[in-house]
Amino acid sequence: MRQETLLRRHAMFDFDAEMREQHGILCGVDEAGRGPLAGDVYAAAVILPENCEIQGLDDSKKLSEHRREQLSEEIQKKAVCWCIAWASIAEIEKINILRASLLAMKRAVEGLTQKPDYVLVDGNQKPDLSIALETIIKGDAKSASIAAASVLAKVARDHYMKEQALLYPQYGFEKHKGYGTAEHRNLIKQYGICPIHRPSFLKKIL
């Protein structure tokens, strides 16, 4: 299993190298927080340098929280540039979660200090960008740049939810990060909703 994982991670960097040869400066984009019942949706955009090596880089969902924290620091140090952005709960409620996710991605790319020539987006939906882009289903397992973006977005959103847990301690946001766990659903039924819940996500619970 370990050898298979190492080969896959090596393939992620090879994938990006081929993309750079074809398209020039490459940017990976991913989001975090489409599914939760509470909190903003986050996105990150990352431009990694050529011949970049980040040991253990992977899809953020396959990494422990501690490992994500370590990798987030390393990515920020080694990246040519990176940007983390978000769309608010009000925006999620107004335009829906898919469009809000794409808006956060757009903000992340436009917030980069260097403009990429080509953008790789995780998933099958395209943010509204003036830059050439390509969507890649399960891209966080195929592209090192997208995987790096997935780590930054996930870590940033987790930090945000821990901050919210201090404001609304009764909901346990520091544990479930707003996702619809059985515990979270029960706490919503007990306490009702708070300002960072997404009302449109809670119709079946309430």
For the domain 2-163, what is the CATH code?
A: 3.30.420.10
Q: What is the pLDDT along the chain (206 residues), one digit of tens a residue?
A: 455 555 666 899 999 999 999 999 999 999 999 999 999 999 999 999 998 989 889 888 889 999 999 999 999 999 999 999 999 999 999 999 999 999 999 999 999 999 999 999 999 999 999 999 999 999 999 999 999 999 999 999 999 999 999 999 999 999 999 999 999 999 999 999 999 999 999 988 87
* C-beta separation of 163 from 178 below 8 A: no
Domain boundary assignment for the chain: 2-163
d(CA 206, CA 203): 5
CA 64 – CA 42 distance, rounded (Å)? 19
- Quote the tokens at residue 129: 């960008």
The answer to whether 199 and 94 have CB atoms below 8 angstroms apart is: no
Q: Indicate the pTM of the whole model.
A: 0.94
pLDDT of residue 3: 53
Closest of 153, 198, 149, 177 to residue 45, by C-alpha: 149
DSSP letter for 80, please. S
Residue 31 and residue 105 in contact, taking contact as beta carbons nearer than 8 Å: yes
